[in-house]
Chains A and B, each alone.
Chain A
C-alpha cells in the first residue's frame, strides 16, 4: 500500500482555492453569498446602496498607506528598525487605523537580498495597507511559479537580479501578512516623504517591481 497516494482521500479543494478566473459554475459559497444578500435586501435589513458603498470603499482602498510606511522608513532610520521589528506597531505609529486583525511582517530589500510575496494556498494579501490584490496575484500561474522559479517570474515583471542577490520568497500560508520595504533609489536625496511615497507603486510593495525615479 502506498503511504501517499494522490487519490480520493486528499481533499485539496478544501484548502486550495481554484484559479481566480477559471470560469465555470459559481462555487457554493458564492451562491450562498448572493442568496443571503438578496434575502437581507428583501427583508429590508440592508439596502442595495449600502452594499454598493461598501464595495466602493473596499475598491477605493489602494496602496497609499503601504507607500506612506515605506517613505517614513526611508527617511527615519529608527522608525525603520521599529517597523522591521514589529510591522503592526510601525503602522500604528503613523496613525494608520482600521487594520483589522493584520499581523504584519515587513521584509527589507538590501543590496544583497530581494524579497517577494506570494500566497500559494489562496490569495492572502495585506488588504488594509495595499487594497484589493490584483487579479494576477490570485492567478494560479503566479502562485505556482513564484515559489518554483521566482527569478524567471521576476524577470517577466521586469526585475532582473544578479546571481549574488539572494531571492527570498515569502509564502503567506497562515496568519501573517507581508509588505516589502524596497530600497530607496538613487537620486532621491532631500525628497519629502510625500514625494517619496509617490514612487512606491503597489507592485514594489509586493516585490515584483523596483521604485524608479522619473517614472512616477
Chain B
C-alpha cells in the first residue's frame, strides 16, 4: 500500500464542502492534526454510497487533533485530543505543530 503520510506527520484536513456521503466530519475540516496511525486501505465510502465499487481503495488514517485547536473555547485540559478516521484524499501536508 502506498500511503502518502507517515505517523507523526502534521496534516491539514481540506476545508471542502462537497455534496454526497462524506465521512469527514465538519468539525475537523480546515483543522490541523497529526497522523496517529495508518489504518490500511479501504473502498471509498463516497463511491460505495452510490452503489459503485469504491475502487481503487484509499489509504485511511487516524488523525489526532488537539481539542483546543478544534474548539477554540474548549473547556477541558490542554492535552485533550480527539482522534478521527480520515481518508487520504481529505488530507494535505501542513507545517508546524498539530496535536503533538
Which positions in A face B, CB cutoff 8 Å?
4, 9-11, 14-15, 103, 105, 120-121, 147-152, 163-176
Known: A10-B17, A14-B49, A152-B75. A169 touches B81 (CB 8 A): yes
B81 touches A176 (CB 8 A): no
B23 touches A121 (CB 8 A): yes
- Collect the chain A residues with CB atoms within 8 Å of residue B27's CB: 120, 147
A168 touches B21 (CB 8 A): no
- Collect the chain A residues with CB atoms within 8 Å of residue B76's CB: 149-151, 163, 167
When A and B form their complex, which 9 residue pairs have the shortest distance between CB atoms, in order from nearest? A174-B85, A169-B82, A166-B79, A151-B76, A167-B80, A173-B85, A175-B42, A171-B84, A163-B77
- Collect the chain A residues with CB atoms within 8 Å of residue B20's CB: 11, 14-15
B83 touches A168 (CB 8 A): yes
Chain B 27-41 per-residue mask, 1 if CB under 8 angstroms from chain A, else 0: 100000000000110
Which positions in B face A, CB cutoff 8 Å?
15, 17, 19-25, 27, 39-40, 42, 45, 49, 60, 62, 67, 70-71, 74-77, 79-87
Known: A10-B17, A171-B84. A164 touches B77 (CB 8 A): yes
Once bound together, how far apart are the Cα atoms of A150 and B68, in whole Å? 13
- Collect the chain B residues with CB atoms within 8 Å of residue A175's CB: 39-40, 42, 60, 85
Q: How far is the CB of B70 from chain A (nearest CB, A)?
A: 8
Q: How far is the CB of A45 from chain B (nearest CB, A)?
A: 23
B25 touches A121 (CB 8 A): yes
A176 touches B85 (CB 8 A): yes
21 A-B residue pairs with CB within 8 Å: A4-B15, A10-B19, A14-B20, A15-B21, A15-B23, A105-B39, A147-B27, A149-B76, A151-B77, A165-B77, A166-B79, A167-B76, A168-B80, A169-B67, A169-B82, A171-B82, A173-B24, A173-B86, A174-B60, A175-B39, A175-B85
